[in-house]
């Protein structure tokens, strides 16, 4: 299962990199259209913001799986291993709990947006899709934290 998860995360990272490349191309196109031909794509800024939200929240799943998220280590690096291990368990439990808690409210928001058929103002993108990327990111990060917590109790690292 871990190999399948790693393949999925590699695929996700590749897709997100392609989205970033597409965003750069669209920004260049928008600048060229605006300053060379005087044409403005009204939907472009909104679509780029939504794409960035998706890249951040979906990319956070891969970052948390690879244990590359931000962490303050000034005090923890001096702790003895048993205390550090207990602190990591607490960190994973808190992360999972917070992500699932916020994810529950995000799910309610996604459900309301989808039921109402709410669209963005300019790009006419269904807002449940944008909010759905936040939900998927939260659930993914929570699940990674939960797996890390279980692996920590079993004294295994899920990244190995």
pLDDT digits (tens, 9 = 90+) for 39-61: 989 899 999 999 999 999 999 99
Report how far apart, in Å, the C-alpha atoms of 136 and of each of 34, 45, 46, 99, 103 are.
35, 23, 20, 10, 8
Would 159 be classed as within a structural domain?
Answer: no
Better-scored residue on pLDDT, 155 or 9: 9
For the chain, what is the domain count?
1
Would 66 be classed as within a structural domain?
Answer: yes
Q: What is the pLDDT of residue 158?
A: 54
**Average pLDDT of 82-91?**
89
Instruction: Mark 75-88 as b/e (b = at least 16 C-beta within 10 Å).
Output: eeeeeeeeeeeeee
> Which DSSP string do the residues of 99-144 spell out, in sequence order?
HHHHHHHHHHHHHHHHHHT-B-TTT--BHHHHHHHHHHHHHHHHHH
CB 97 within 8 A of CB 110: no
What are the structure tokens assigned to 116, written together?
A: 């109402």
Would 158 be classed as within a structural domain?
Answer: no
Mean pLDDT over all residues of the chain? Answer: 90
Would 10 be classed as within a structural domain?
Answer: no
pLDDT digits (tens, 9 = 90+) for 118-143: 999 999 999 999 999 999 999 999 99
Would 33 be classed as within a structural domain?
Answer: no
Per-residue confidence band for 1, with pLDDT thresholds at 50, 70 and 90: low
Q: How many residues does the chain have?
A: 160
Q: Partners of 126 in the beta sheet?
A: 119
Would 55 be classed as within a structural domain?
Answer: yes
* Confidence (pTM): 0.86
Would 160 be classed as within a structural domain?
Answer: no
Would 65 be classed as within a structural domain?
Answer: yes
Expressed as residue numbers, the domain containing 145 is 42-153
């Amino acid at each position: 299962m871990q190999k399948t998860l790693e393949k999925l995360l590699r695929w996700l990272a590749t897709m997100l990199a392609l989205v970033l490349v597409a965003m750069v191309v669209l920004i260049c196109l928008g600048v060229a259209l605006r300053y060379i031909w005087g044409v403005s794509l009204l939907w472009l800024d909104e679509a780029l913001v939504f794409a960035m939200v998706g890249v951040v929240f979906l990319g956070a799943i891969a970052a948390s799986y690879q244990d590359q998220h931000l962490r303050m280590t000034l005090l923890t690096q001096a702790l003895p291993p048993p205390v550090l291990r207990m602190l990591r368990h607490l960190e994973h439990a808190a992360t999972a709990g917070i992500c699932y808690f916020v994810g529950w409210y995000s799910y309610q928001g996604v459900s309301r947006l989808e039921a109402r058929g709410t669209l963005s103002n300019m790009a006419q993108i269904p807002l449940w899709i944008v909010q759905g990327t936040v939900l998927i990111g939260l659930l993914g990060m929570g699940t990674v934290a939960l797996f890390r917590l279980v692996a920590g109790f079993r004294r295994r690292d899920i990244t190995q």
